[in-house]
Amino acid sequence: MRTSGRGLRRLLAGGILTALAAPSVVLLAGGQSAADESSTSAGETASAEATTPPPPEPGLQVSDAELRWGVNDLVNTPRGASAVNFLSAGTVPEPGAGGPLIVDGLWQKTGQKAWWATSGQVRIEKRQPDGTFRTATFRGLRTDAAGQPLGTGTPGRHSGHQVVVRGGTGTVDAAAGTADIRWTGSFTIVRGSGQALLTVTDPRLVITPGAAVLRGTVAGFADPADAPRTRVPADEVVLANLPRDQFRLPTGGGFSTAPRYGRVTFADPAPGVRRQVRKGQGWGAFPLSFVRHQVPLRTADDWYSSGDSLDAAKVAGPVTISYDADKPVDPPPPTPPPTSTPTSSPSSTPTGSPSSSPTSSPTTSAPTSTPSVPVSTPSLGPIPGVTGVPGGGIVPSAPVPPPGGNLPTSEPSETKPFDPMPSIPSVYALTSSPVRPDSATPAGWPWVLGTGFLLGAAVLTVLNARERARPRR
């Protein structure tokens, strides 16, 4: 019996040692499998890299692209009885000595030429009654599309002129969602028949999958009656932020889209600047850098809602891009002027008798979906060249509006201007490798091993107790 007891104990001890050694064998096998998989993956990657075809050629190369833009209706609107806002091709010179008033295309005091319908690749065109465009005349700056005088500045009425710049060169890659087109030339926005000048030079369109901007170099001059002359040196600004989530780059032809303006905020950056009015329909602002450049000229409130009667004329006009100037894309039709009277009067009597009982009883229903668990993702941080995006980083191609609010339609904030630089940053997404279920170590073996170990210990304890209880011979 003693011999059989000792043999049983040895057998149990050997089984326990074998079970304890099993995890090492399993782990060793798992490590070997991982190493084999690593080698296989590396071999597959190397093979794939060896057979990867060369990158495709760049997208469409354009050599005579056309930019058409009316800026906004205010640049074509009278300013009182004797002054008018208008567009001119080229760079309008400063008036020199004498009063700043352009008459018949000349500075009134000096006789120097101060207006051009064409200059190089730039042309000013006027909309006709049938919707087509013709090269502008100076007389047409004071009439609407039908040839009727504009008067002193009736809201909703303007001359219908647009800037057309040809000769744009660059690349359009519709598959990648990118474009970069440059134009050479200048046009001038004349305020109050010459009281202020704003010259725009060499516009450039830069489009990425998440942003689209029209940039340009601007320089200003002002000679108001109640302030000394002011000059603002040239600086590159964002002329228009295009809503990248609302249009796709076509493979040919071109496109037209309205820049962001509505509900774009503008803070008061200097004393004496009128506060922005942020109520009613259509309030908003041009890009921040563009507006701030004109603060010294005292013309900044021409580019954001300030509460005056011409606020509706300040909304940014559509930008139309044609890949081939000889096959231009038609711009959208003009927005009809607002009406002061309602189109139909409400009825003063009810159409039927009111019901004394509700038509349906209220019902209660359980929620159709369970609340989702928030998932936190690591932030890649801000991307150089793309600033002013909430949270930093990538501009979403289809942003989600905040609860109870609306999407901003231009630079989201005056403190974080949405002015992406022309350089296009490289963005890399960091993701973790998926775990293969067949390569993971089995999760049930610790429970089996623990149970066997406890049973073996219990048997050994019982055998030792029985052996001690026997009388010795």
Tens of pLDDT, residue by residue over 174-208, are: 999 999 999 999 999 999 999 999 999 999 999 99
User: Percent of the chain at pLDDT above 70?
Assistant: 59
CA distances from 454 to 20, 23, 448, 460 (A): 13, 17, 10, 10
The whole-number pLDDT of residue 472 equals 54
| C-alpha–C-alpha distance, residues 133 and 266, integer Å | 34
Residue 84 lies in a domain: yes
Domain membership of residue 254 (yes or no) is: yes
pLDDT at 436 over 50: no
Is residue 76 assigned to a domain? yes
Q: Is residue 117 part of a domain?
A: yes
| CA dist., res. 204 & res. 169, Å (int) | 10
- Average pLDDT in the chain: 73
Distance CA 69, CA 332 (A): 11
Side chain identity, residue 111: G
Reported in sequence order, the residue ranges of 267-382 that DSSP labels E, i.e. its strands, are: 319-322
Segment 337-364, tens digit of pLDDT: 544 333 333 433 444 444 444 444 444 4
Amino acid at 33: S
pLDDT (0 to 100) of residue 425: 36
Q: Are 319 and 69 in contact (CB under 8 A)?
A: yes
Residue 79 lies in a domain: yes
Q: How many domains does the chain have?
A: 1
pLDDT of 116: 98
The pLDDT of residue 63: 98
| Integer Cα distance of 204 and 216 in angstroms | 6
pLDDT > 90 in the chain, percent: 50
Rounded to an integer, what distance in angstroms lies between the CA atom of residue 380 and that of residue 386?
Answer: 13
Tokens of 328: 């231009």
Region at 109 (left for phi over 0; alpha for psi -120 to 50; beta for the rest): alpha
Q: Is residue 277 predicted with pLDDT exceeding 90? A: yes
- Domain region containing 169: 60-259
Token readout for 335 is 């927005």
Q: How high is the pLDDT of residue 153?
A: 66
Structure confidence at residue 55 (pLDDT): 54
In a domain, 19, yes or no: no
Cα–Cα distances (Å) from 120 to 3, 102, 167, 187, 239, in that order, read 114, 22, 10, 10, 21
Query: Across residues 252-258, what is the average pLDDT?
Result: 97
306 pLDDT higher than 70 = yes
**Whole-number pLDDT of residue 431:** 35
365 pLDDT exceeds 70?
no
What's the mean pLDDT in 53-61?
68
pLDDT digits (tens, 9 = 90+) for 27-49: 334 444 333 433 333 333 333 33
Q: Specify the pLDDT at position 398.
A: 35
pLDDT: which is higher, 327 or 442: 327
First-to-final CA distance of the chain: 13
pLDDT at 442: 44
Looking at per-residue pLDDT, the higher value among 438 and 255 belongs to 255
Is 456 or 212 the better-scoring residue by pLDDT?
Answer: 212
Tell me what pLDDT residue 348 has: 39
User: How much is the pLDDT for 384?
Assistant: 34
104 within some domain: yes
- Between residues 361 and 4, which one has the greater pLDDT? 4
Residue 87 has pLDDT above 90, yes or no: yes
Candidates 196, 195, 212, 193; CA nearest to 204 is 212
Q: Is the pLDDT of residue 462 over 80?
A: no
pLDDT, tens digit (0-9, with 9 covering 90-100), for 446-455: 555 666 667 7
| Residue found by looking up tokens 């030792």 in the block | 464
Confidence band of 435 (pLDDT split at 50, 70, 90): very low
Say whether pLDDT at 406 is over 70: no
Alpha-carbon Rg of the chain, whole angstroms?
Answer: 37
Which pLDDT score, from 0 to 100, does residue 79 have? 86
Residue 152 pLDDT greater than 70, yes or no: yes
- CB burial of residue 290 (10 Å; 0-12, 13-18, 19+): buried
The pLDDT value recorded for residue 15 is 54
Q: How many CA atoms lie within 13 A of 373 on its CB side?
A: 1
Locate tokens 């359009």: which residue?
172
pLDDT at res. 7: 54
Q: Which of 180-194, 294-308, 430-444 has the least mean pLDDT?
A: 430-444
How many Cα neighbours within 13 Å face the side chain of 408? 20
Query: Which candidate, 116, 129, 164, places its Cα nearest to that of 326?
Result: 164
Residue with tokens 């099993």, as numbered in its chain: 22
List the alpha helices (DSSP H) in 195-318. 288-293
Token couple for 259 = 């820049």
For residue 330, being part of any structural domain is answered with no
- Give the residue, 24 or 90, on which the prediction is more confident: 90
pLDDT by residue (tens digit) across 97-146?
Answer: 767 899 999 999 899 999 999 999 999 999 999 999 999 999 999 999 99
